[in-house]
Amino acid sequence: MPSLSDLGQLPKRLVLGRPVRSDRVGESLLPKRLALPIFASDPLSSVAYATQEILIVLTLAGSAFLYLAPWLAACVVVLLTVVVLSYRQVVHAYPSGGGDYEVASKNFGQFASLVVASALLTDYVLTVAVSVSSGTDNIISAFPSLDEYRVPIAVGLVCLLVAANLRGLRESGKTFALPTYLFISSILLMIGTGLFREFFTDSPPVAESAGYTLQAEPGYTQLAGLALVFFVLRAFSSGCTALTGVEAIANGVPAFRPPKSRNAATTLALMGGIAATMFIGVTALALLSDVKYTENTCDLIGFVDCETEPQRTVIAQVASAVFGGDTSFGFYLIQAATALVLILAANTAFNGFPLLGSVLAQDRFLPRQLHTRGDKLVYSNGILLLAGFAILLLVVFEADSTHLIQMYIIGVFTSFSIGQWGMVRHWNRELRTAGPAERSRMLRSRVINTVGGTLTTFVLVIVVVTKFATGAWLVIVAMPIIFALMRAINRHYANVSEQLTPDSDARTLPSKVHAVVLVSKVHKPTLRALAFARATRPDVLTALTVNVDDADTRALQADWDRYDIPVSLTVLESPYREITRPVVEYVRDIRRSSPRELVIVFVPQYVVGHWWENVLHNQSALRLRTRLQFQPGVMITSVPWQLESSVGREEVHGPAVGDLRRGLTTDALDPEPADLTVRSDV
């Protein structure tokens, strides 16, 4: 028959499967073929919305500035190339998985490292929210009737990701590899088919929105001078969402198989090349097929049901144009692959956030629970924390990807910038002691990181300036709050560590030991507690009871004398029928009279086997223990007595050490004892 604890573990086992031994952690390391879909799904999936974000900004001014789209896309690709090259230097120089956080910590100190950490933690949460909401957009593009269920769909998808990640990295990698590779192949097929139709056939692809005309928003009709520059920079900053997720590989180097740094660098290069190719191809097809996409649907003149019908995403319109309509197999293939990879792109954050949280917890900037691995050797607490914040954003912003993207990329470009300048400082330090054979490689790396730092800092300034009023201010507020919280946690841990450091007084023995056994009546738990207390050979032993009922107290004293218990019984008066306060005051009086005297309070407790027994027994002993633990120089010793219902409840195959267990219920009521002999060997 399964034990109570076994039944309590059943839901957990159904979700997570069997626990994995700690010595099998190496078996969860990833080969490149699995690392690519896990860590690169975020930047690869950004192809689905990066072009769309550029068009949303450009169409604010109507169709007058759509000609800038290819130039902006080219600038984004150049920036992506520089960032990928820069992070290849990071994974070789810092392979331990700290990424930009470790770079900033070792080259600029604690302040800069916490700025990077707060930026990355914020960005990981937004990565989940943006990726899942964009994936939901593509599901709705294929099935518009689901629009009213947008938020439940998005939240449900996050929950599925949580379950998959809690089962372990290797299993998740196998789950995520196929959709990512399906997305890559289907997008490349769409690009190839579309370009072939455009240049080699008489039926070029034409988007469903090609026949619509654009109405410029007020204030965007006569752009010139600085206003035009600001407008173009805003469109460029929106397109820079294509770079999100590049840093995840630098934070996930420990998850790679050896040689870790080389495999991570190779994965970075593959990711950069594939992402750039797909981004250029989708942007080209969107312009060739005359896709129009606006922030406000009713700015599309000709869109009849703009008040009720959602726009199809840019990639959905391109797929429809290339493959012959929204009922074609190719259209549904692209939508399915895009929705899947966008949902799975959030997995990059589900790998990066827990790893970074573990590093921060190890450095005592976050709670240490984030450094603890769960049953499947993953950082379960980090996964659950990330999911909670992402779901909160999805609910508050109604899974609207356009609004969520306004807050995006500030965090990642903050970490980009600090990390790249930290690498420049790293190479400056290394060059002072490097030999002639290494100097040329280090000089080349320093140039790459200098260019990367300059460009990413420039883009960060652009993003902050152009997106501040449209939602970026929330991230700018959140990051300092996270920064301050981490500093406060670190100060707390440092203070506790200082308090716990042994000093000369720590080895001083107490002058005397005074044992106090709490008594309610003469029964087996009381006798066991008395026997155990006597076995410890204290200098003073007191049996203590509180008089809350005169008749019960007289009966207790009579039993005490009748069974000739060789310990004096002390009775505390309690005119207001309190139990806890008189006991606490009694213990305090002992400490006040003899500050060097150690007081040990023995508390009999019941161990029960059924949940309903907890309801039937009072919690007076639990309250006493809670109050007494705040008294200095006082130790509380629980003396358990197993009721018959608890026998056999804990089987050999019950939960392992460290599993959560139900608390023990204490009580002061019991039937008359069968054996009242006090034995010191119990």
Average pLDDT per run of 10 along the chain, which is 682 residues long? 48 53 57 82 85 91 89 95 94 85 91 91 92 92 89 94 77 71 95 95 90 83 86 92 83 83 92 94 94 83 77 92 92 93 83 84 90 76 94 93 86 91 94 86 94 94 88 91 95 90 70 91 90 92 92 92 90 89 93 90 85 68 85 90 73 43 37 40 36
Distances (CA, A) of 337 to 144, 145, 328, 333, 674: 17, 20, 14, 6, 73
Residues 143 and 288 in one domain: yes
Report the SS3 class of residue 600.
strand
* pLDDT score at 662: 35
Q: What does the block give as tokens for 659? A: 């599993």
* pLDDT score at 302: 79
Number of neighbouring beta carbons within 10 Å of residue 632? 8
In a domain, 134, yes or no: yes
Kindly report the CATH number assigned to the domain that includes residue 613: 3.40.50.620
Report the SS3 class of residue 635.
strand
Q: What does the block give as tokens for 67? A: 């000609």
Cis peptide before 259 (omega within 30 of 0): yes
Rounded to 5°, the CA angle 657-660-664 comes to 100
* pLDDT score at 7: 45
Number of neighbouring beta carbons within 10 Å of residue 639? 20
Report the SS3 class of residue 545.
strand
Residues 239 and 348 in one domain: yes
In a domain, 82, yes or no: yes
Residues 483 and 514 in one domain: no
Burial 113-145 (b: 16+ CB within 10 A, else e): bbbbbbbbbbbbbbbbbbbbbbbbbbbbbbeee
Q: Helix 580-593 to helix 620-628 angle, to the nearest 10 degrees? A: 30
Max Cα–Cα distance, the chain, nearest Å: 111
For 355, phi and psi rounded to 5 degrees? -65, -45
First to last CA, the chain: 31
Q: What does the block give as tokens for 139? A: 């599901």
**341, 41 contact by CB (below 8 A):** yes
Residues 569 and 460 in one domain: no
In a domain, 453, yes or no: yes
In a domain, 660, yes or no: no
Residues 463 and 553 in one domain: no
Rounded to 5°, the CA angle 79-459-469 comes to 140
**667, 643 contact by CB (below 8 A):** no
In a domain, 130, yes or no: yes
Residues 570 and 467 in one domain: no
Identify the CA nearest to 267 among candidates 92, 520, 47, 468: 92
Identify the CA nearest to 163 among candidates 367, 347, 345, 401: 347
Burial 288-304 (b: 16+ CB within 10 A, else e): bbbbbbbbeeebbeebe
Residues 557 and 473 in one domain: no
In a domain, 502, yes or no: no
Positive/negative CA dihedral, 315, 153, 382, 655 = negative
Residues 218 and 275 in one domain: yes
* pLDDT score at 278: 95
Residues 474 and 531 in one domain: no
In a domain, 15, yes or no: no
Kindly report the CATH number assigned to the domain that includes residue 452: 1.20.1740.10
Report the SS3 class of residue 658.
coil
- Side by side, the strands of the sheet bearing 634-642 are 569-573, 540-547, 513-518, 598-607, 634-642
Residues 305 and 401 in one domain: yes
How many structural domains is the chain composed of? Answer: 2
* pLDDT score at 619: 67
Residues 454 and 351 in one domain: yes
433 CB-near residues (< 8 Å, 6+ apart): none
Range of the domain at 304: 30-490
Residues 152 and 39 in one domain: yes
Q: Which of 427, 461, 490 is the last residue of a domain?
A: 490
Q: What does the block give as tokens for 23? A: 């010595």
* pLDDT score at 436: 82
In a domain, 241, yes or no: yes
Per DSSP, which regions of 388-539 are E strands? 513-518
- CA 396 vs. chain centroid, Å, equals 19
Q: What is the H or E stretch that residue 543 is in?
A: strand 540-547
